[in-house]
Amino acid sequence: MENFNHIVMISPVGLEKDRILTGFKRFGITHLYLIQSEKKNKDNNEKRLADTVRNFANDLKEKLIKIFEENLKLKNANITDLEDCMRILNAIIKYELKKGATKIYINISTSSKIFAIATIYLAGLNPNLIIPFYAKTSNYLVQDFIEILTDETKLDNREKCFAELKKIKGNFYESGWTTGKYVIKLIPALPFKKFTQFQEQIFKKLIVGKSEKKLNDMVEEFENNKLKERSVRSKISYALHDLIEYGLIEKIRRGKFIYLKLTEIGEIFGNYLIISS
């Protein structure tokens, strides 16, 4: 176990209980965030699923509040929306960094695929701070369902079949979709190249504007007594190379003028790619 004073774990709550808690003892977690699905109003399968997840989250909170006390927080997120997943992760990471966090582990075992993607992106920005991990198991309750469905002797015996289903239901509400021993697999994130301070300034101007900006106007904004127009143009051109290469900014020519604009990727990740600034 690593010996740190302020170690955070973020665990999205899916249809799991035991699996969500995997890692907090091994990593010496001192601050825990449970991420639950936001409340759904429309009465359909999505709402029923979200309600089950929220019930699981509240059960876990009641169980863990005695251990973590005020260091346990329950947060809502639209786990099927990439931007919202990044928003909540970004907010937690920034807050905990200010509080002195030295490591942030994110358990993606029971997260949505979208949440897992958001986690990997942010881990790539801070590979020494943010560590995604996966709790591997071979014991899924769905295997018990399949066994019942494929066992003719159990299907023919209604009483025995109902008894098996009742047992599966009990295990589900007790532990979630998985049980048994879990093996933790750390997931290395490919580090992103850090922006220079000047690249961040360019990017922030486009984020704030939320629209395209004429290159000449940007040159004028950066001009001062120390940097003349030719120097500014050269510096901007050099800084734009990586931003365009990463697919975050595009150049658009209209007549004799060149405009700069955030790409779709740039708009989604703009506020998070400069998380460390």
Which pLDDT score, from 0 to 100, does residue 3 have? 41
Tell me which residue of 139, 123, 107 sits closest to 22, measured CA to CA. Answer: 107
Which pLDDT score, from 0 to 100, does residue 229 have? 61
Per-residue pLDDT of the chain (277 residues; tens, 9 = 90+): 444 589 999 999 988 888 888 888 889 999 999 999 888 777 777 788 788 888 888 888 988 898 999 999 999 999 888 888 988 999 999 999 999 999 999 999 988 899 999 999 889 888 888 999 999 887 887 788 788 777 777 667 778 788 888 888 888 888 877 877 889 999 988 777 777 888 888 888 887 766 788 888 888 888 764 556 668 888 888 888 888 887 888 999 988 899 998 887 787 776 666 544 4
151: left (phi over 0), alpha (psi -120 to 50) or beta: beta
Q: What are the backbone dihedrals phi and psi of residue 77, each rounded to the nearest 5 degrees, phi first?
A: -155, 150
Q: CA triplet 2, 106, 183: central angle to 5 degrees?
A: 70
105: left (phi over 0), alpha (psi -120 to 50) or beta: beta
Which pLDDT score, from 0 to 100, does residue 224 have? 63
Query: What's 54's DSSP letter?
Result: H
pTM: 0.76
Which pLDDT score, from 0 to 100, does residue 274 have? 58
Q: What CA–CA distance (Å, rounded) separates 96 from 76?
A: 17
Which pLDDT score, from 0 to 100, does residue 38 have? 83
Q: What CA–CA distance (Å, rounded) separates 203 from 195?
A: 10
Sign of CA dihedral 205, 193, 248, 256: positive
β 213-214/257-262 pair status: antiparallel
Which pLDDT score, from 0 to 100, does residue 59 have? 87
Q: Where are the alpha helices (DSSP H) in the chain?
A: 18-21, 45-68, 82-98, 113-125, 141-150, 152-156, 158-175, 197-209, 215-222, 229-245, 264-269
Which pLDDT score, from 0 to 100, does residue 167 have? 85
Tell me which residue of 261, 155, 161 sits closest to 210, measured CA to CA. Answer: 261
**75, 34 Cβ separation under 8 angstroms:** yes
The single residue listed with the structure tokens 């091994």 is 26
Q: What CA–CA distance (Å, rounded) separates 251 from 13?
A: 42
In angstroms, how far is CA 66 from the centroid of its own chain?
26
Which pLDDT score, from 0 to 100, does residue 52 have? 83
**107, 20 Cβ separation under 8 angstroms:** yes
Which pLDDT score, from 0 to 100, does residue 1 have? 41
In angstroms, how far is CA 9 from the centroid of its own chain?
12
